Structure 1
Amino acid sequence: MQATRRSFFKTAMSLGVASSAYPLLTACSAEGEAATGAAKTMDLQADPNGLLDLPPGFTYTQLSVAGEVMDDGLHVPTSHDGMTTFPIEGDADRCLLIRNHEMSADDQDEGPFAGMTSVSDDIRDKAYDIDANGLPLPAGTTTLVFNMKTQQIEKSWMSLVGTIRNCSGGITPWGSWLTCEETLQKADDNISKDHGYVFEVPSSARGLVKAEPLKAMGRFNHEATATDPRTGIVYQTEDAHDSLIYRFLPEAKGELHKGGRLQVLALKDRPRADTRNWYNPGTYRMGERWAVEWLDIDGIDAPDNDLRLRGHAKGAALFARGEGMCLAVEKTGNAIYFACTSGGEAECGQIWKYTPGDFEGTSDEASAPGMLTLVVESTNASEMEMCDNIVASPWGDLVVCEDGPDDEFVRGVTPEGRIYTIARNAHPDQAEFAGACFAPDGETLFVNTQGPHATYAIRGPWAKIARA
């Protein structure tokens, strides 16, 4: 049974968050059940403009292309990446998009300060880091006001500056965006601070926020987060070939700046498990479930980039390039889905599901541990190639952005593990998709491409996609 719009909005609103953040996956199969093979897919129609190929009846609007001048006078940076939406209280026609930009310290010519030799004291004071020429580092986040009726951007500005390689992140139940630095770059002749942290951007901010790293959440190649509204626990992925999955237990729910405890995921009775299926194919099969335990880890600032190595030595499980992560509300409770870009025997990608236990994060959690399930393991590139950003959809499936060497697609994945196609990047650059998320009304799907560097708003008969 597919999620109805009524149940979708009721569930999301009861959590007090943006409706696009925590959709209801009502079509979920029973634990242990899985299916393989591609689902029926509507044929894509070639785009005469050479940008996006979409199914019949679907249209797109290209938005906020890199280099455009925003309302704050700064340029739209390149490398659009992770993204989310928030409703605007009292305004049913508009929503906010907060978007990452995955830029390096030496990308100033393509950043918000392109052509500038200095910035205002306010920008300098709010930036996390400044380069040797006195300019804030070019990555960070942009915030855009989107009109859902006209499908146009009405206002845009930089909301975080001075960071680098802001890749993905995640929404929080208290109305903010966690933006993650996918880097371990240390201070050098050009930059003054170490990087590799999570930063928080409140959706209520209508300008630049002061960039303050949440150091207690660890320093590693951060990719994405998912926050469980029931517990306030933040789950995190790491982009490395031998990555771990992390859990942050905050001292105060909803107040991450007050600190907390970092832990790593291990499989109960399988210390140092290798879930990648590279060297022992078939060890971890779709639909099987494994009990989880969480291990404390110290030295979380990791100046030697050894956090994952020490975590694995303690017993943590290995994953193949943990990237996209999202929370979905299911009939049986909340679930965390995450993508492992190069996982599986074919190295084409895996999607995992973590179901928190009834006593998650408490001293009693061993009596009802969280469970880990392999939902998808792609067997070839034509089925799904290198899954990256993911989001739960209003109709009960996952929407997945690809980041592979061949054609780039946006895929759908049913709760039973079947894969189908939603869009193709038709631009000659064939760059990755990123940042998939839905408008609060559930009618518009936003995605980014990193060639061209732009955001797209896609609309169409989603009910047909759901029945494909």
Structure 2
Amino acid sequence: MERRTFLRTTVIGGSAAAFGGSLWRGAAYAAPAQPGSGPYGALRAADANGIRLPAGFSSRVIARSGRKVSGTSYTWHNAPDGGACYADGSGWIYVSNSEINPSGGAGAVRFSSSGSITGAYRILSGTRQNCAGGKTPWNTWLSCEEVDRGYVYETDPWGVKPAVRRDAMGRFKHEAAAADPVRKVVYLTEDVSDSCFYRFRPTTWGDLSSGTLEVLRMGPGTSGPVTWATVPDPSGASAATRNQVSGTKRFNGGEGCHYADGTCWFTTKGDNRVWQYDAAAETIELAYDDSLVSGGTPLTGVDNVTRTASGDLYVAEDGGNMEICVITPDNVVAPFLRVDGQSSSEITGPAFSPDGSRLYFSSQRGTSGSSSGGITYEVTGPFRS
């Protein structure tokens, strides 16, 4: 038996035996995604920006680190990372973190209804290594510090209200955040090799100034039911938050995180996995695992993640061959785009415009391989709605 086939049998079958058939809910525990034909077909030759896209799609450069954003006085930040889009009247705003230490922070670009750039500005300053984050239902941006005992900062995408540090969300090496408006919690990932998966339960939904930080617990394996336990000291002063509760589930390098339709997807870079947490059933399973892929692996170096209304999950690569891959609702994984000539970089910040017609992302270090060489792109085309 081929190694990957054996692993699949061991992981999927072993979990079934451990947790019992009554806990499995058919398609909810489907096998992890496998390579196949993507919804948009093969990638064409690279365009003038070095982006390989399917037929019908095109790219443009929105901003470059160290240069003023076209038509504005704002100099785009170094090492652009996690991002999100916000409706702004008939236009929209794209927010982007800066993963440098010190002086990280975040900036934003404003667009008109036609997609023209109408402004760019700073929304967060004086922080450290702002990696990913997450959008809240009340239209703020949670910018996360990827440093030991780092903070989460709640920022205003319009740049009007001052950013607020949210101490109650815990001090650890934060990566990404995803808000669940049904259960009124915010999920959080942690970027260390023995990380945990957290959720923050605000005292009042919409106000992150106080609440309870919880950590996920589960038995052995990669699929099955989970429980949540309160972290006694979210400040991490007495001990690292991941080491305060026994029986926590360890993850190999938490990265991107996205919630939609009752599911929170998150990635772990150390083992190239995409996980999905069923929030209603409180169960977890693998959506993708490159060690369980038959043949070539189209997705390696999993990182930031986002999702469209059609149910397609877009996963950016940190490493690999600089692709954004799509995982479809029928568990097919395929490349959506590839950036040529930037092998010393990583793809960050994928986010769709509010109408789903434009995808934004950055190459964090661009062609130079330096944090000062970041490039932020826009892709337009016939995305599935």
- Report the TM-score, using the length of structure 2 for normalisation: 0.85
Q: Which residue of 2 aligns with 1:58?
A: 57
CA change 1:74–1:59 in 2 (3 A) is: closer
CA change 1:69–1:241 in 2 (3 A) is: same
Q: Tell me whether 1:421 sits opposite 2:385 in the alignment.
A: no
| Contact 1:427–1:451 (8 Å) recurs in 2 | no
Q: Which residue of 1 aligns with 2:19?
A: none
Q: Which residue of 1 aligns with 2:325?
A: 411
Q: Tell me whether 1:310 sits opposite 2:224 in the alignment.
A: no
Q: Which residue of 2 aligns with 1:131?
A: none
Q: Which residue of 1 aligns with 2:254?
A: 322
What is the CA distance between 1:402 and its match in structure 2? 0.6
- Matched residue type, 1:412: V
| Farther-moved stretch of structure 1 (296-305 vs 384-393) | 296-305
Deviations 1:349-383 (A, max 9, x none): 111111123xxxxxxxxxxx511121111136732
Out of 101, 126, 129, the position equivalent to 1:165 is 129
Deviations 1:325-359 (A, max 9, x none): 00112xxxx1111111122xxxxx111111123xx
Query: Partners in 2 of 1:211 and 1:426 — Cα distance?
Result: 36
| Contact 1:72–1:158 (8 Å) recurs in 2 | no
RMSD: 2.2
Query: Partners in 2 of 1:387 and 1:418 — Cα distance?
Result: 16
Deviations 1:135-175 (A, max 9, x none): xxx211112112352x3321000011000111111111111
Deviations 1:373-416 (A, max 9, x none): 21111136732102111111132210010112x42100001234
Structure 2 residue ranges without an equivalent (≥5) = 1-25, 367-373
CA change 1:430–1:423 in 2 (3 A) is: farther
Q: Which residue of 2 aligns with 1:262?
A: 213
Q: Tell me whether 1:431 sits opposite 2:345 in the alignment.
A: yes
Q: Which residue of 1 aligns with 2:300?
A: 385
Out of 21, 28, 32, the position equivalent to 2:29 is 32
Q: Which residue of 1 aligns with 2:382?
A: 461
In the alignment of these two chains, the number of paired residues is 348
Query: Partners in 2 of 1:382 and 1:370 — Cα distance?
Result: 29
Deviations 1:195-224 (A, max 9, x none): 600001133x344x4333211111111011
Out of 261, 264, 285, the position equivalent to 1:373 is 285
Query: Partners in 1 of 2:133 and 2:332 — Cα distance?
Result: 26
Q: Which residue of 2 aligns with 1:114?
A: none
Q: Which residue of 1 aligns with 2:191?
A: 239
Higher strand proportion, which one? 2
Q: Tell me whether 1:335 sits opposite 2:269 in the alignment.
A: no
- Aligned partner of residue 401 in structure 1, secondary structure: strand
Out of 225, 230, 235, the position equivalent to 1:301 is 235
Give the share of equivalent positions with the same residue, in percent.
29
Q: Tell me whether 1:174 sits opposite 2:138 in the alignment.
A: yes
- Aligned partner of residue 132 in structure 2, secondary structure: strand
Q: Tell me whether 1:46 sits opposite 2:10 in the alignment.
A: no
What is the CA distance between 1:430 and its match in structure 2? 4.4
CA change 1:227–1:428 in 2 (3 A) is: closer
Q: Which runs of 4+ in 1 moved over 6 A?
A: none
- Aligned partner of residue 242 in structure 2, secondary structure: helix
Deviations 1:88-125 (A, max 9, x none): 13x2xx101111111111xxxxxxxxxxxxxxxxxxxx
Query: Partners in 1 of 2:285 and 2:201 — Cα distance?
Result: 22
Q: Which residue of 2 aligns with 1:141?
A: 106
CA change 1:35–1:216 in 2 (3 A) is: closer
- Aligned partner of residue 125 in structure 2, secondary structure: strand
Q: Tell me whether 1:352 sits opposite 2:304 in the alignment.
A: no
| Contact 2:72–2:119 (8 Å) recurs in 1 | no
Q: Tell me whether 1:250 sits opposite 2:215 in the alignment.
A: no
- Aligned partner of residue 419 in structure 1, secondary structure: strand
What is the CA distance between 1:67 and its match in structure 2? 1.3
- Matched residue type, 1:55: P
| Contact 2:123–2:156 (8 Å) recurs in 1 | no
- Aligned partner of residue 256 in structure 1, secondary structure: strand
- Report the TM-score, using the length of structure 1 for normalisation: 0.70
- Aligned partner of residue 462 in structure 1, secondary structure: coil
Q: Tell me whether 1:440 sits opposite 2:361 in the alignment.
A: no
